[in-house]
Every structure is written in C-alpha cells, then in structure tokens.
C-alpha cells in the first residue's frame, strides 16, 4: 500500500511538507530538556488531549479530540511507547509506510497526529526578540544573549531551566538575574498554543510572572487582575477567550521550571 502524499499534505497543512514537519520535530528533540520533559506515553497524550483540545469550553474541537484519543490508543496497541519512539518510527517516509501497512493505521491519520503534536504539544523554536513587547531594556538584553549563542526560547530554556543555571547565565552574560528570570519565563509562556508576545505581556502585566503562577490562579481573581491591567493600557481584557484559554492550558502543559 503506497502512501498518497497529496492526502498527507492536506492532513499536515499549513506545514509545507512532511519532511519539514519531521525537521521541526528533530529541532525540538535536539534539546535535552525537551526529550526529558515531553517524552510522554500514549496514555499520557490521551489525557493531555482530553484536557487540552477536548476541554475547550466552546466545544470547537470535540470531534478532533475524540479522533486523536482513538489514534493514540491505536498507536499504543501497535507498540508505540512514547513521543520519541513515535518520532523514530515516522521520521522517514519508508518507516511511515511500513508502519501503516503493518498496523492498519492510515498514514494520513499518523500525519495528523504528528501535526497535532507539533502545534499543540512540542515546543518549537521562537526568537527571543519576538517574545518581548515594547520594552527597550529587555530587548537590549536579548541582543546580549545572542552574543552568547542564546537566540530562541528553547535556547534559554535549556540554559536556564533550573535556578542554579539561571544564576550562571546571569553571571556569564553580565545581565541582572531578574532579566534572565523574566526572559526564561517568557520562553516558558511561549510553549502555550496561541501565546503571542502580546498575550504573554498581558499575562505578565496582570501580575502573573510565571506559568506556575498562572496555573495556580483563582479564576475570579485572574479575571479581575486582567481587567484591571487592561484598563491601564486602554483595552478591555475581560472580553474574548485569551484569559480562559491561557489559564486552562497553563494547568496541563508539562512543567519545566
């Protein structure tokens, strides 16, 4: 059974190709902290999906989540152990084709799983400068870190995923520890789907400087804090689903810091 690559391409759109999708996985998994924290089993991915896309309060993704949960269970039944095992099995077209034939799971469904994990689960590289919103001091710090080889959210997470490593990074770069802490936390926030630099800045501006603080917030207090901060910047942050989704996702993403 040969693979219909036209159908595969439709399943992974807007990613330009299956090879590009696999390259994204390879880049993310090249970081030790990603391999350590995100190498979840298939049952764990079922639960993450149930609480994530399946937990959308507007029920926009119910059918999508249900299909993904069935697929993860099918992959486990076919012998896939965890995220790294999944990637190793599907990183090349020949492996994808062989697995699909042996398991009976359509290659397009496997591609859909790969796309889902790329956009909703695995952290991808984002330039640090793209996480800073109208803050000259922090933007200047980003340029200093670039000189030390730290250009992306994944770079700074790898270099600063523990308090001791953040102290060393501050000493090495000559930057104040609070700047390092802020940039590490901005990188941590950037792992959430939909987390633009404006969203991240709104969360921090509302008084939640870390993903952990956001996850532990009381909903009513969170709404009040966002609304109050919105008034200071001339926006009604009580509207829309930015607050609710950010709070919900913060509680289920794998913990790093």
Tens digits of residue pLDDT in 107-126: 999 999 999 999 999 999 99
Comparing C-alpha atoms, which of 234, 244, 162 is closest to residue 203? 244
> What does the buried/exposed string (b/e) look like for 206-234 if buried means 16 or more CB atoms within 10 Å of the residue's CB?
bebbbbbebbebeeeebbebbbebbeeee
- Tell me the domain boundaries of the chain: 5-120, 128-250
The predicted model gives 45-57 an average pLDDT of 95
Structure-derived torsion over alpha carbons of residues 192, 158, 167, 180, reported in degrees to the nearest 10: -40
What span, in angstroms and rounded, lies between the C-alpha atoms of 129 and 150?
11
CA-CA distances (angstroms) from residue 66 to 86, 100, 119, 144, 221?
Answer: 20, 20, 17, 46, 32
Q: What is the pLDDT of residue 133?
A: 78
Residues of the chain above pLDDT 90, percent: 82
The predicted model gives 15-26 an average pLDDT of 95
Q: Which band of pLDDT confidence, cut at 50, 70 and 90, is reported for residue 20?
A: very high
Over residues 86-112, the pLDDT tens digits come to 999 999 999 999 999 999 999 999 999
Q: Which two tokens stand for residue 205?
A: 């501006």
Comparing C-alpha atoms, which of 162, 152, 83 is closest to residue 116? 83
């Amino acid at each position: 059974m040969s693979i219909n690559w036209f159908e595969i391409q439709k399943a992974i759109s807007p990613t330009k190709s299956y090879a590009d999708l696999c390259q994204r996985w390879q880049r993310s998994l090249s970081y030790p902290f990603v391999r350590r924290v995100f190498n979840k089993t298939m049952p764990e991915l079922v639960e993450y999906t149930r609480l994530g896309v399946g937990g959308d309060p507007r029920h926009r993704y119910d059918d999508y989540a249900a299909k993904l949960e069935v697929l993860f269970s099918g992959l486990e039944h076919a012998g896939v152990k965890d995220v790294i095992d999944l990637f190793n099995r599907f990183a090349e077209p020949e492996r994808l084709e062989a697995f699909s034939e042996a398991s009976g799971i359509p290659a397009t469904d496997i591609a859909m799983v790969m796309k889902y994990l790329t956009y909703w689960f695995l952290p991808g590289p984002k330039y640090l400068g793209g996480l800073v919103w109208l803050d000259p001091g922090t933007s200047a710090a980003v340029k200093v870190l670039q000189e030390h080889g730290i250009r992306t959210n994944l770079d700074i997470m790898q270099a600063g995923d523990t308090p001791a490593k953040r102290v060393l990074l501050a000493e090495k770069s000559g930057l104040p520890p609070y700047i390092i802490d802020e940039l590490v936390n901005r990188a941590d926030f950037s792992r959430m789907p939909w987390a633009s630099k404006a969203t991240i800045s709104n969360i921090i501006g509302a008084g939640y400087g870390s993903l952990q603080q956001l996850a532990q917030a009381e909903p009513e207090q969170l709404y009040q804090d966002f609304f109050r901060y919105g008034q200071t910047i001339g926006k009604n942050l009580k509207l829309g689903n930015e607050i609710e989704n950010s709070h919900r996702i913060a509680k289920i993403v794998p913990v790093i810091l």
